[in-house]
Amino acid sequence: MIKKILPTTTQRVACHTHKFINEQIRNSTLCSLKSYADCSDKALSDRITKLNAEWDIERFLEANAATIVILSSILGIKRSHCLWFLLPGTVGFFLLQHALQGWCPPLPVMRKLGIRTGLEIENEKTVLKFLRGDFLHKTDNIAKLLEMVEKQ
């Protein structure tokens, strides 16, 4: 019961994302990985570098929330109107809800746009490292590698 209300950190966003969207994101990751199957170590390293810079869902939510809080606070001060200060309170409530449960109102839209969780990004990086030869295990089956990484 408590796990349903407060899912684990790594699974909380996926638990609150529609199954179809999760599958779309996974399939997109799998297509990307397959396109790197026969690439050079440099190409794999370049992709890993790009993934290191990719914003995950948490970063998008934090940046959007901070932007709304700053703008509404400025408007509240400039206009001396208390209603502008309700917006940061609402945003704070949604951030708390997201921190505890893994869901907040903008989450479904961001996930539909393909914004991934940190774990989804890390899984792709790990498979690329397998392909590059960073680990002892070697296989050509990209889907199998992604499954192995996801089970960790």
Mean pLDDT calculated for residue range 36-44: 95
Distance CA 72, CA 74 (A): 5
Q: What is the CA radius of gyration of the chain?
A: 19
Task: Please give the pLDDT value at position 3.
Answer: 66
pTM of the model: 0.85
Mention every residue, 6+ apart, whose C-beta is less than 8 A from residue 132. 41, 44, 45, 48
Per residue in 58-112, pLDDT (tens digit) is 999 999 999 999 999 888 888 877 788 888 889 999 999 999 888 999 999 999 9
